[in-house]
Structure 1
Amino acid sequence: MQVKSNKRDRLLKHQIFLYTYTTEAYMKKYLIIIVLFFSCYCVKARQLKDSAQLKEVVVRSYFSNRPLLTLPASVSIVDSSIFKNHPPYSLLPALNSIPGIRMEERSPGSYRLSIRGSLLRSPFGIRNVKIYMDDFMLTDAGGNTYLNILDAGSTNEIEVLKGPEGSIYGANSGGVLAIHPGDIQSDSSYASASVTGGSYGLLHQNLSLKHKWKDFQLNVNEAYQRSDGYRENSSLERKYVHILPRWNYSESGKLNAIILFSDLQYETPGGLTLEQLNANRRAARPQSLAQQAEIFNETILAGLSHEIQLSSNLKHVVSLTASHTDFKNPTINNYEFRNENSAGLRTYLETTGGKRNWYLQTGFEGQQTSLEVDRYDNESGEMGLMQTSDKFKASQGFGFAHLSVNPIPKLNLESAVSVNFFSYNYESFYPSVAPLNKRQFKNQVMPRFAASYLLKPSIAVRASLSRGYSPPTLEEVNPSNMEINTGIEAEKGWNHEIGLRLNAFNNRVYWDAVYFYYHLKDAIVRGVATDDRDYYINAGGTDQHGFESELIAWLIRASEKRFIKTLLFRNSLTLSSFKFSKYTSGGADFSGNNLTGVPKSSVVTSLEALTLDRLNLFVQHSFTSRLPLNDANAVYADEYHLVSARASWKLKVTADKAVLFAGVDNVLNERYSLGNDLNAFGGRYFNPASTRSFFAGINVKF
């Protein structure tokens, strides 16, 4: 038996090697074709004088607005030009077009997201990533983020900061999302409305109003979305509104505010085994149907920020955020109620010196979240007898300093550091009373050093070294196995990267490429027990080598004489060699295995064409290589190719703008899972995504 087992192991390793070799060979050929094509094309492009140009991109998340070309950090922008080519009811396809990002949706509304890392920590929700809306905190002090409460059609722009940004944004080991919901580019007042319908009972409606007075402007977005879902027990309904008042009360001072309300309900069909998947892809797990598994999330968030220019070289910014969430989750094992309240403060002073050749920001961010968790028996979707009652309070904070210097015009140097603290209190009330206990994590210093050098006016190289740190979330301290895990440690590590940016040929071609190595210690990993309850442990460590490339180019310049007026090409490439460096669990040694849930390669390529002045055509192809579904690497999800297409037609109407649009997702009718249950007990890994689906709608702007 041992000989047969060794043969099987050798055969498996041989198959994995062949697959890895084939994938890498495919990617090398792909890269060679891209490089040769654009090398030939761009030689010709130098001689062209045209108006089809890429706008200079400015990043807002590094305090003062900074040009992306010379920024010594890995940042990608998802702006309105990207959002308009994707369905207005989901953030997922737009975010997944960015290298280094993997966003999953196991069923409508059940989001997971990672930046350069593992999805192992997150059965649902977002962890290990800090998320802000303008100056306001969407991530709570316990480390959890409900990204699914937002309406995609009400989002104007997202800046993705890849790699640990703890030196200025506190505890995270993955990165930062800075979401900008309001349109601050336009100075005009307007109203817009859109309606979208589609397959599986989809309906999405959005209303946006912006009015600008002399010194005051108001943005209001309202949205409603519903869907029956592709699978049984996968319906969704969300009601959403946000209000953004902005008041420039003087030449040097301004006030910004946000009021956000979201009422979200979505059913959770549960994972299927391979046999169940092959029998009926649209089925829910029987236990999920019997227990009427679903999630209710009602959240209100409010914030106020103030910015004042105290002098020509001194600015102060302060923001306050408060939120409340009522959360209900009937699951297979229990009926959970959460009452969550958070409050936070972020403030900093910015000083500039010389001829604005250096900037210094010093500040503080602090936040506190209280969480009351009551769990009951779930009796076919109804609350039964109480199982547990616990109360938690998490506190996080950090002081930071960030210095950016231009000693010579071509060189940009950055140095930043933060001192972080994190603690949580917990007490139990049922089934037994336990006194208040506290766990205080050791204060952490998180430095970052970075440099960017302009080789030519259109080419910049960069390098950085930064430390990441992410303590366990309250959900990981108190998972569904109902045992308070005080022994789980924070994950931490050092990230190294080098990169190159190019913005050349009269702004017709943009290319950003980066290589990074991230060694993470005490990585947090999710497991599932025999009774389907979650638990979390530290996996020892991971070694993460990655390469990311983002390429944008105008293939056809603006022309009135051609049928195709303009043609825009985009390509993103992500190569990941992520492995457990040292990980043993339950007597098994997983050291050297591929990191669970991470594909070795993904490629997203799109073409956008404007024809007949008013017809816009968009097509996108996405390739994702196979990925391991458990820590033992014994089961893999197959690779898949996704093709989506969209067409929009601008109608001729007096002074207003109206656009008809229609699209199709999964043109090839691929059978795949867009979100897998990792390390699932009993082989219930698979959450099949929908086959070919359609949507159509209209957007009117007054």
Structure 2
Amino acid sequence: MIRSTLFFALALTSFSALSQSTLQDSTHIDLQPVSVKVYFAPQSLMSITSSTQVVGPKTLTAQGSQTLVSALNTVPGIRMEERSPGSYRLAMRGSLIRSPFGIRNTKIYVDDFALTDAGGNTYLNLLDPLGIQSIHVLKGPDGSLFGANSGGVIRIQPKGFDALENQVQLQVTGGSYGLFQEQLSVQRKVSDRYQFSFDHSFLRSDGYRENTALNKKTLQTSHQWQVSKIQQLRLFALYTDLKYNTPGGLTLSQYEANPRAARPAAGKIPGAAEQQAGIYNKTLFGGLSNALQLTESLSHHIALYGSYTDFKNPFITNFEKRIERNLGVRTYFSYAKPEAAMPWQMQLGYEGALGWNKIDNYDNLAGVAGKQQAMDNLDNRQWNLFYRAQVELLKNWNLEGSLGLNKNSIHYKQRFPEVNNPTGDIKFDAVWMPRMATSYQLNRLMALRASIAKGYSAPTLAEVRSSNRSINTDLAAERGTNYEIGYKFKTANNRFIADLAAYTYTMKDGIVRALDENGAEFFSNAGEMKQRGLELGTWLTLLEPRNFGFVRELTVQAALAYNHYRFGDYRVANKDYSKNKITAVPDWVNTNVVHLEFPQKLTLHLFHNYTSSLPLDDGNTVFAKKYNVLQAKLNWNTTLTKNTAINLFFGADNIFNEKYSLGNDINAFGGRYFNAAPMRNYYAGVRFDLK
């Protein structure tokens, strides 16, 4: 952890230097915004009752534009991985112990439209980073307002909504392992009432390992109409054609001998390359929302959204085809009295989603579907009725409470084999999910917060009907209660901000992942999981923007998370895993960002990630080694004409040339845990900005 400690020490040393600085308080660049919108209306970051962070445009574009991994890993409590190009995994205040299609226990929205579908899956890799304006992260369970989640909520704000600049951006990037990316973004404010954004991207890569090629095309558009002074319409649409190969896990000896290899054949079981293992995902997602100010105090909001997915997954032992259709609605009334003696507001709303899923499995004949193995229909139903109230008891003291009633169910019907044709329903009890929270500003520089919230996550469709092709009717929903306190401090000029959070979450009926001898996954409940953590985020402007000197600006950001995650009472057959470390969770994660600006509009952005060792099986017998990864991106901007600018950039990843495994296969049969990450690699590109 030496390199990590040095980076973190830099942030603390810089703060010490800042406190002794005699620089005048000039116009500064806030590393975090003054307000954030996560609870229906903008709120001050100092007064909000949850652990919240915003990933803004500067962070999103700081490293390579082909992935969101570096940007989201600047948030303490989030760990995002990309084990091969296009294959995301994301954990927020939770483990990667089970993560079909990369994300679990986190609810994700694009504006007011739920990207997380009715079955609980989220295809985050459908989005292109260039089409995103900002990402708002709300950590900790908030099932009272957003339905089933126990990790938190992410709200992605696409380009085209809210404020925008009239501009056209064209970017082309090339790099190691056959990387090529083209991105086009057009934003226009046509009139005071109408604005839009159109974003297109194409991305391809051969990948570091064998059988990791990626090909991705996206089309995205956002439209905003101010129909009248009291009504606003928003339209969002996304189409993505995504294809990436999956190399499969390696044993330790295979990983050490040739980390770039795909999973080889084993006995009668063919290898990943031979079976052309991969993911093919064509998805159309869209939503329409309407905001109406009925009176000075009363407003109504409604968002309708849906998706259609054509999904194919040739795997080692089968070829899966899925057709997924989803429809959803989120609507609420909001009543606010901000001018009252004790300012207050309340919201009453409903969110519901329906999913129709057709899942068919065939023999995989070297990437071609063969004889039928299994065919099932599974339909999801979920809804959440919620209420929230907030009152400012004193000038600096906010108190809020919310309550949600959540219900989930799955109807299944087997179409093949045509023996018995089992049909049935998996129903989860309706669950009340309360949250109580408060924040108190000690003064304009310091604030305290505390909350108690219930977390709840029903099994996803991919867990009930996993890749072993059986329908598991015995899985119970995860549930628990989260207790959290937080402290936030900032200097008067906002040049230093620190946010500290401590939480404890005891999860009951935690669901764990395992793989059979063929690599097919299945899931079971593991009893109790005790999750305790500390998170610290710091933002520092050591040197404000200036027009003289060799260094024109210097900012430092650090994110530190400590995870004390342990199994409670957990036994499988004659094996006792009680009090073991929860699988796939590192004790420490530390990310650090340094941004420097030099003369002639030259900038350097450094990103460092330290992740400690983590267990790869429930028995804690195999661990992935700790790693330090350093990335750097050098930019040069210049103006060609009055309305045209050009940006040239060069980047490097894994500068330390660290050999490490990323996106490990958990509880893997036969010891096939390891997925090698790329060694040192490079990229370069050019971006044109036209006004």
TM range (shorter): over 0.9
Call closer, same or farther: CA 1:581–1:598 in 2, change over 3 Å. same
Q: Give CA deviations for 1:637-664 in whole Å, capped at 9, x if unaligned.
A: 1111111111100122112221111110
Residue 479 of structure 1, CA deviation: 1.0
- Name the structure 2 match of 1:188: 165
Distance in 2, matches of 1:46 and 1:463, equals 36
Residue 184 of structure 1, CA deviation: 4.0
1:518 and 2:520 are equivalent in the alignment: no
SS of structure 1 residue aligned to 2:635: strand
The counterpart of 1:202, out of the listed 159, 175, 179, is 179
Distance in 2, matches of 1:46 and 1:470, equals 51
The counterpart of 1:378, out of the listed 364, 369, 373, is 364
- Name the structure 2 match of 1:238: 216
Q: Percent identity?
A: 41
1:311 and 2:292 are equivalent in the alignment: no
Which aligned pairs between 1:294-305 and structure 2 lie closer than 5 A? 294-305=278-289
Residue 47 of structure 1, CA deviation: 6.4
Distance in 1, matches of 2:519 and 2:7, equals 42
Call closer, same or farther: CA 1:40–1:105 in 2, change over 3 Å. closer
Call closer, same or farther: CA 1:28–1:208 in 2, change over 3 Å. closer
Residue 123 of structure 1, CA deviation: 4.0
Q: Give CA deviations for 1:510-539 in whole Å, capped at 9, x if unaligned.
A: 111101111000001011122322110001
Residue 35 of structure 1, CA deviation: 8.1
Q: Give CA deviations for 1:131-157 in whole Å, capped at 9, x if unaligned.
A: 110011111111111111111222221
- Name the structure 2 match of 1:20: none
The counterpart of 2:480, out of the listed 490, 493, 496, is 493
SS of structure 2 residue aligned to 1:49: coil
Q: Give CA deviations for 1:281-323 in whole Å, capped at 9, x if unaligned.
A: 1110121011110110000012110001111101100000011
Q: CA RMSD in A?
A: 1.7
1:293 and 2:293 are equivalent in the alignment: no
Distance in 1, matches of 2:598 and 2:639, equals 15
- Name the structure 1 match of 2:79: 102
Residue 559 of structure 1, CA deviation: 2.4
Asked if structure 2 preserves the Cα contact closer than 8 Å seen for 1:605 and 1:620, the reply is yes
Residue 50 of structure 1, CA deviation: 2.3
Distance in 1, matches of 2:325 and 2:200, equals 24
Distance in 2, matches of 1:455 and 1:618, equals 35
- Name the structure 1 match of 2:515: 528
Distance in 2, matches of 1:246 and 1:181, equals 12
Asked if structure 1 preserves the Cα contact closer than 8 Å seen for 2:18 and 2:542, the reply is no
- Name the structure 1 match of 2:410: 424
1:592 and 2:579 are equivalent in the alignment: yes
- Name the structure 1 match of 2:155: 178
1:689 and 2:677 are equivalent in the alignment: yes
- Name the structure 2 match of 1:158: 135
Distance in 2, matches of 1:29 and 1:571, equals 11
The answer for unaligned runs of 5 or more in structure 2 is 265-270
Which amino acid in 1 is paired with 2:179?
Answer: L
Distance in 1, matches of 2:87 and 2:354, equals 26
Asked if structure 2 preserves the Cα contact closer than 8 Å seen for 1:423 and 1:441, the reply is yes
- Name the structure 2 match of 1:137: 114
Residue 458 of structure 1, CA deviation: 1.4
TM-score between both structures, scaled by the size of structure 2: 0.96
- Name the structure 2 match of 1:16: none
Residue 587 of structure 1, CA deviation: 2.0
SS of structure 2 residue aligned to 1:682: helix
Distance in 2, matches of 1:76 and 1:494, equals 22
- Name the structure 2 match of 1:547: 534
Distance in 1, matches of 2:205 and 2:6, equals 41
Which aligned pairs between 1:425-574 and structure 2 lie closer than 5 A? 425-431=411-417, 432-574=419-561
Asked if structure 1 preserves the Cα contact closer than 8 Å seen for 2:221 and 2:236, the reply is yes
The counterpart of 2:594, out of the listed 594, 607, 610, is 607
Distance in 1, matches of 2:33 and 2:362, equals 55
- Name the structure 1 match of 2:189: 212
Distance in 1, matches of 2:485 and 2:387, equals 23
The counterpart of 2:636, out of the listed 616, 626, 649, is 649
Distance in 2, matches of 1:630 and 1:507, equals 44
Which amino acid in 2 is paired with 1:193?
Answer: L
- Name the structure 2 match of 1:19: none
Question: Larger deviation: 612-621 or 589-598?
Answer: 612-621
Residue 269 of structure 1, CA deviation: 0.5
Asked if structure 1 preserves the Cα contact closer than 8 Å seen for 2:586 and 2:611, the reply is yes
The counterpart of 1:271, out of the listed 243, 246, 249, is 249
Asked if structure 2 preserves the Cα contact closer than 8 Å seen for 1:46 and 1:506, the reply is no
Q: Give CA deviations for 1:415-468 in whole Å, capped at 9, x if unaligned.
A: 011000000100111112425311221100111111110011011110111000
Residue 613 of structure 1, CA deviation: 4.3
Distance in 2, matches of 1:110 and 1:433, equals 37
SS of structure 2 residue aligned to 1:443: strand
SS of structure 1 residue aligned to 2:580: coil
Which aligned pairs between 1:378-397 and structure 2 lie closer than 5 A? 378-397=364-383
The counterpart of 1:678, out of the listed 661, 666, 672, is 666
Residue 412 of structure 1, CA deviation: 1.0
Q: Give CA deviations for 1:361-417 in whole Å, capped at 9, x if unaligned.
A: 110000000111110111111111100110000100010011111111110111011
SS of structure 1 residue aligned to 2:328: strand
Identify the structure with bigger relative contact order (alpha carbons < 8 Å, sequence gap 6+).
Answer: 2
SS of structure 2 residue aligned to 1:598: coil
Distance in 2, matches of 1:433 and 1:90, equals 46
The counterpart of 2:55, out of the listed 78, 83, 86, is 78
Distance in 2, matches of 1:183 and 1:609, equals 29
- Name the structure 1 match of 2:267: none
Distance in 2, matches of 1:171 and 1:696, equals 41
Residue 557 of structure 1, CA deviation: 2.3
- Name the structure 2 match of 1:411: 397
Q: Give CA deviations for 1:657-689 in whole Å, capped at 9, x if unaligned.
A: 211111100001000112100100111000001
- Name the structure 1 match of 2:268: none
Q: Give CA deviations for 1:32-58 in whole Å, capped at 9, x if unaligned.
A: x46863563343247632223426432
Q: Give CA deviations for 1:457-504 in whole Å, capped at 9, x if unaligned.
A: 011110111000000011111112221110000000000111111221
Residue 27 of structure 1, CA deviation: 8.5
Distance in 1, matches of 2:468 and 2:183, equals 40
Question: Larger deviation: 535-544 or 649-658?
Answer: 649-658
SS of structure 1 residue aligned to 2:254: helix
Distance in 2, matches of 1:515 and 1:435, equals 47
Asked if structure 1 preserves the Cα contact closer than 8 Å seen for 2:72 and 2:78, the reply is yes
SS of structure 1 residue aligned to 2:71: helix
Which amino acid in 1 is paired with 2:530?
Answer: D
The counterpart of 1:50, out of the listed 26, 32, 57, is 26
TM-score between both structures, scaled by the size of structure 1: 0.94
Asked if structure 1 preserves the Cα contact closer than 8 Å seen for 2:15 and 2:542, the reply is no
Asked if structure 1 preserves the Cα contact closer than 8 Å seen for 2:662 and 2:675, the reply is yes
- Number of matched pairs: 678
